[in-house]
Amino acid sequence: MKTFAMYCGSIVLLVSILLVGCSKQPDAYKIGVITPLTGSRATYGAATKQGVDLAFERINKAGGIDGKKVEAIYEDSRGEPKDAGYALQKLINVDRVPVILGAFRSAETQAIAGTAESRKVVLFSASSTADEIKYVGDYIFRNVPTNSDQGKTAAHFVLEYLQKKTAAVLYQNDDYGKSLGEAFIENFSNIGGKILAQETFEGGQKDFRHALTKIKQMRPEVVFFPGNYEECALILKQARQLGIQVPFVGGDGAYSPDLFGIAGSAANGSYYTLMAMGYGVSDEEVANFLDGFKKAYGGEPDVYAAYAYDAILVIADAIKRGGYTSDGIKDALYKLEFKGVTGITKFDSYGEVSKPYYLYEAKDGKFALVTWVPTGSVTATR
Amino acid sequence: MLPQLLANGLCAGALYAIVALGFGIIYRSTGVFHFAHGAIYTIAAYLTYLMLVATNIWWPVAVAVALLGAAFSGVLAELLVYRPIQKRRASPLAALIGSFGIYLFAVNLIALIAGNETKVLRPGVDITFEVGSVILTRFQLLGFATFVVTLVAFFLFKKSRLGRLLTAFSDNPALVEVLGWNASVIRIAIFAAGSLLAGISAIISVMDIGMDPHVGMSALLISAVAVVVGGVKLFEGAIVGGVVLGIVQSLVVWQFSVRWMDVFTFSILVLFLVLRPQGLLGKKVRLEEV
């Protein structure tokens, strides 16, 4: 009798869950957001959240989309591909969102993009730059340019702005570091630079002295070291301790205020390529954003907040044009052209954009924009 | 370049040797493959950080607290996990799995409390010393000095009455008990001492290069390889193995590249297991003596 009661109970429960799950028209449009809210990359998640919240506030203040409010469902990826996978499953199966902003790191996005594609959910990254993401499928978009562009910009910067002809490359042995390192090597060699040494490091590594000793021996004029900020900061510290005083050039992965917490003064004389803001293209939008950000949070946004903010506005625009379904959003994204804080967002047939990279110099605990007008083929910087 | 690489390798090897000695003593005398040694390494590192950065206490006090914390954690592992398992006469595999459990629990707890990110004690460039073409940080030098002190202390201990007791206990715990010693007290002392050594290595490493919650795992793996390379049957094996690994790694970088370092480290493990399981120092023994 007892088991029968339990059967009945569970069936009732199941049916009620299904009914709730099937409740028809949502009273708000929900957009999933996968970003590292905790863990070693929590500062990136915090920046993403600032940008996303600001964008939602702006959309809702203007009356939402077709009179419907929009809201975000945040899922924490902790910066780990595995956790990004759990977050994706939850957003697809429980919340049933048609569109997700995320993930943050290239490795995370690459881990979940295949699933998003096969479940026909639009996945929109505002920060993953690894080249391979381009080919995953039709439902995968991003508003950041690729690492091959980033490596190219860095190569031109070293040769044209720093005027250094020899470089050593020390890259993180993962999707991100490897593709960026290879892009740099290819472009730097093509425009007349010389690569003297190539070494790698692993995520989580703490002692880089062996590789740095080898690099020191080769006497390069510059070291290009694409990787995450934790490893890059330790590399800077140990390099300066070993007496390597040449400039270091890194990628957007090392751009984090926490870089200075580890590297301290050792970060002086290092440069980082970073996705561009829309200066010169959409100055009005940039000014609006900076103003709104200052009112909401007080202070300057970092570039990840700007890209997340822009991404949400683009997604909202696509929902408005195509409707709140994944196919509608996907088709609208391919057609739209959006002028925002990060310049013009217009997708090619791979869901990729063409935007420049800027250069920032680490100086006394801050990142300062480098004024550099490149000659030749790189489209960059104000 | 070679002198610098060798100096780095020697300093790294010195720290490997200290943590491996702790692992080796525990493994040799209790038979426990002490996976949690890695967790204790991490605990010592985070206690040092907590004391120095959060409470800003005088550094000898911080070091003392971290070392005591490490020893205490080791004893706790013995009392809460290994002893009950041993009492039930479970297989060594049960202790290994239990040990792995402690490792996962402790490391995830630390990550939960302190965060997953890399931490350093002092940001920026640290004081370095230059001898000829070799540049070493003060903590690399400190690590090597500590290694020498540990080495001397260990050999003095080995010659002492307690040292002989340890050797006797490792060879035949039942017999030592028959002679009137309390085996559980000896085991507690062994875990405390082994964990203390892990703590020493961890503290110097944290001061030199920094940490995250997962540093203990690589320390543990290096320890295990060092013990196999040096010889499981002798306490000195871990010391020799640690130093040899440090130097071999620097030679690999010199001749090949950093990316081959781990490949070589674990190839050495496999080669020794297959070709010379008794290790560098070990002698071949008959089955009856094992």
Q: Which pLDDT does position A23 carry in this prediction?
A: 46
Closest to B214 (Cβ–Cβ): which among A78, A204, A262? A204
CB contact under 8 A, A263 and B115: no
Cβ-defined contact of A210 to B123 (cutoff 8 Å): no
Look at residue B149 and tell me if it is in a domain. yes
Compute the distance between CA of residue B289 and CA of residue B238 in angstroms, rounded to an integer.
Answer: 21
Number of residues that this document lists for chain A? 382
User: In the CATH scheme, what is the code of domain A28-145+280-351?
Assistant: 3.40.50.2300
Residue A18 pLDDT more than 70? Answer: no
**Measured torsion, CA atoms of residues B143, B145, B147, B148, in degrees rounded to the nearest 10:** 170
Buried b / exposed e along B268-287 (16+ C-beta atoms within 10 A): bbeebeeeeebbbbbeeeee
Q: pLDDT at residue B182 above 60?
A: yes
Q: Which of B16, B53, B116, B131 to mutate to test the interface with A (most CBs of A within 10 A)?
A: B116
pLDDT tens for B158-181 read 999 999 999 999 988 889 999 999
For residue A323, the number of C-alpha atoms closer than 13 Å in the C-beta half-sphere is: 5
Question: What is the average pLDDT score of chain A?
Answer: 89
Q: What letter does residue B115 receive in the DSSP assignment? A: -
* Closest A-chain CA to B213: A204
Which residues of chain B neighbour A39 with C-beta distances below 8 Å? 115-117
Spell out a b/e string for A119-152, using b for 16 or more CB atoms within 10 Å of the CB, else e: eebbbbbbbbbbbebeebbbbbbbbbbbbbbbbb
A174 vs B contacts (CB less than 8 Å) = none
Evaluate whether B232 touches B27 at the Cβ level (below 8 Å).
yes
User: Which tokens hold the place of A124?
Assistant: 């929109």
Which tens digits make up the pLDDT trace of B105-159?
Answer: 999 999 889 888 889 988 889 889 998 889 999 999 999 999 999 999 999 999 9
Q: Identify which of A332, A304, A382 has the alpha carbon closest to the alpha carbon of residue A138.
A: A332
Q: Which of B69, B212, B193, B205 is nearest to B61 (CA)?
A: B69
pLDDT at site A164: 95
Instruction: Please tell me the total count of domains within chain B.
Output: 1
Query: Which among A79, A99, A83, A81 has a CA at the least distance from the CA of A91?
Result: A99
Instruction: Specify which residues A33 forms β-bridges with.
Output: A74, A101
Report which DSSP code applies to A162: S
| B259 to A243: CB separation less than 8 angstroms, yes or no | no
Neighbours of A18 (CB within 10 A): 9
Which tens digit of pLDDT belongs to each residue from B227-257? Answer: 999 998 889 999 999 999 999 999 998 888 8
Half-sphere exposure of A373 (CA within 13 A, CB side): 2
Q: Is the pLDDT of residue A296 over 80?
A: yes
* Residues in chain A closer than 8 A to B212 (CB atoms): 40, 204, 206, 230
Q: In one letter, which amino acid is A356?
A: P
Chain A positions in Cβ-Cβ contact with residue B261 (cut-off 8 Å): 210
Asked whether residue B245 is domain-assigned, the answer is no
Least confident stretch, A365-369, B143-147, B202-206, B286-290: B286-290
Residues of A in Cβ contact (< 8 Å) with B250: 210
Q: Predicted ipTM?
A: 0.89
The reply to whether residue A238 touches residue B211, judged by beta carbons under 8 angstroms, is no
Residue A307 pLDDT more than 90?
A: yes
Judge whether B78 lies within some domain.
yes
**What is the per-residue pLDDT for A219?**
95
Report pLDDT for A251. 94
Asked if the structure places residue B246 within a domain, the reply is no
Does the pLDDT value for residue B283 go beyond 90?
no
How many Å apart are CA B277 and CA B269, to the nearest integer?
9
C-beta atoms surrounding A362 within 10 Å: 24
- The residue extents of the domains of chain A are 28-145+280-351, 148-274+359-369
Other CB atoms within a 10 A radius of the CB of residue B87 amount to 9
Residues in chain A closer than 8 A to B1 (CB atoms): 213-214, 216-217
Contact B8 A210 (CB under 8 A): yes
Which 3 state secondary structure label does DSSP give A237?
A: helix
Helix or strand or coil: residue A231?
helix
Could you tell me how far CA A180 lies from the centroid of its own chain? 14
Domain of residue B84, residue span? 2-216
Of A213, A261, A262, the CB nearest to B4: A213
pLDDT bracket for residue B21 (50, 70, 90): very high
For an interface test with A, which of B5, B15, B125 has the most A Cβ atoms less than 10 Å from its Cβ? Answer: B125
pLDDT of residue A14: 57
Question: Which residues in chain A are closer than 8 Å to B215, comparing Cβ atoms?
Answer: 206
Q: How many CB pairs under 8 A join A and B?
A: 106
Q: How high is the pLDDT of residue A181?
A: 95
Q: Which of B117, B119, B208, B253 is the mutation pick for testing A, counting most A CBs within 10 A?
A: B117
Mark yes or no for CB contact B115/A42 under 8 Å. yes
Task: Tell me the pLDDT tens digit for each residue of A241-251.
Answer: 999 999 999 99
Please name the residue that has the structure tokens 């009137």. Answer: B180
Cross-chain residue pair B124–A238, CB shorter than 8 Å: no
**Domain annotation covers residue B56:** yes
Rounded CA-CA distance A60/A67 in Å is 9
Distance CA(B257)–CA(A197), nearest Å, equals 10
- Give the DSSP H or E segment for B100: helix B92-114
Residue A150, pLDDT > 70, answer yes
Quick one: pLDDT at residue B1? 82
* Interval A213-240: pLDDT, tens: 999 999 999 999 999 899 999 999 999 9
Within a domain: B65: yes
Q: What is the pTM of this model?
A: 0.86
All residues of chain B having their beta carbon less than 8 Å from the beta carbon of residue A219 are none
Say how far apart CA A98 and CA A94 lie, in whole Å.
Answer: 12
- Look up residue A120 and give its two tokens: 């026909």
Sheet order of strands, A140-142 included: A69-76, A28-35, A99-101, A122-125, A140-142
Average pLDDT over residues B69-93: 94
Residue type, B91: S
Q: Do B123 and A237 touch (CB under 8 A)?
A: yes
Closest alpha carbon within chain B to A172:
B259
H helical segments located in B132-235: 138-159, 161-171, 173-178, 183-209, 215-230
CB-based contacts of B48: which residues, under 8 Å, 6+ apart?
Answer: B62, B63, B66, B121, B202, B203, B206, B207
- Weakest-pLDDT range from A136-145, A272-281, B18-27: A272-281
Looking at the domain assignment, is residue B242 inside a domain?
no
Fold: same for A28-145+280-351 and A148-274+359-369: yes
Q: How confident is the model at residue A148, as a pLDDT?
A: 92
For residue A15, pLDDT over 80 is answered with no
CA B185 to chain CA mean position, Å: 22
Question: If interface means Cβ-Cβ distance under 8 Å, which residues of chain B face chain A?
Answer: 1, 4-5, 8-9, 12, 115-120, 122-126, 128, 130, 135, 137, 205, 209-212, 214-215, 249-250, 253-254, 257-259, 261
| pLDDT at position A381 over 50 | no
Q: Are A213 and B258 an interchain contact pair (Cβ–Cβ within 8 Å)?
A: no
A222-224 and A248-250 beta bridge pairing: parallel
Instruction: Give the C-alpha separation, A227 to A178, whole Å.
Output: 9
Q: How distant, in Å, are the alpha carbons of A190, A222, A225, B116 from that of A215?
A: 22, 10, 12, 29
Q: Hey, which residues does A361 pair with through a beta bridge?
A: A271, A368
The answer to whether A245 touches A222, Cβ cutoff 8 Å, is: no
**Among partner residues A211, A216, A265, which is closest to B125 by beta-carbon distance?**
A265
Using alpha carbons, select from A20, A14, A29 the residue that is nearest to residue A317. Answer: A29
% residues pLDDT > 90 (chain A): 75
How many Cβ atoms from other residues are within 10 Å of residue B198's Cβ?
Answer: 36
pLDDT of residue A89: 96
CA-nearest residue to A209 within chain B is B8
The pLDDT value given to residue B233: 86
Q: Which amino acid is at B73?
A: S
Q: Which residue of A has its CA nearest to B134?
A: A242
Q: Is pLDDT at B265 greater than 50 in this prediction? A: yes
Residue with tokens 């010659």: B159
Q: How far apart are CA A163 and CA B62, in angstroms?
A: 48
Chain A residues with a Cβ under 8 Å from any Cβ in chain B:
38-42, 78-79, 173, 199-201, 204, 206-207, 209-211, 213-214, 216-217, 230-231, 233-234, 237-238, 240-243, 258, 260-266
- CB-CB contact of A357 with A380 (8 Å): yes
**Partner residue opposite B209 with nearest CB, options A207, A210, A265:** A207
Q: What is the dihedral of CA A304, A309, A312, A316, to 10 degrees?
A: -160
Q: What is the pLDDT of residues A43-87, one digit of tens each?
A: 889 999 999 999 999 999 999 898 899 999 999 998 899 999 999
Determine, yes or no, domain membership for B222.
Answer: no
> How far is the alpha carbon of A85 from chain B, nearest alpha carbon, in Å?
19
* Separation of alpha carbons A356 and A361, rounded Å: 17
Mind telling me how many Å the CA of A183 is from chain B's nearest CA? 20
Q: Which residues of A touch B219 (CB under 8 A)?
A: none
Cβ separation A200–B1 shorter than 8 A: no
The CA distance from B188 to the nearest CA of chain A, in Å, is 32
SS3 A368: strand
Calpha distance A129→A144 (Å, rounded)? 7
Q: Do B259 and A173 touch (CB under 8 A)?
A: yes
Among B16, B221, B248, B258, which would you mutate to test the A interface (most chain A Cβ atoms within 10 Å of its Cβ)? B258
- pLDDT of the residue at A382: 36
Among the residue ranges A24-28, A29-33, A196-200, B197-201, the one predicted with the least confidence is A24-28
Please give the structure tokens belonging to residue B58.
């005088």
**Superfamily of chain region A148-274+359-369:** Response regulator (3.40.50.2300)
Asked if B27 contacts B225 with a C-beta cutoff of 8 angstroms, the reply is: no
Residue with tokens 């751009």: A255
Q: Quick check: A55 and A94 in contact, CB under 8 A?
A: no
Confidence of residue B197 (pLDDT cuts 50, 70, 90): very high
DSSP designation for A135: G
Q: Is the pLDDT of residue A22 over 60?
A: no
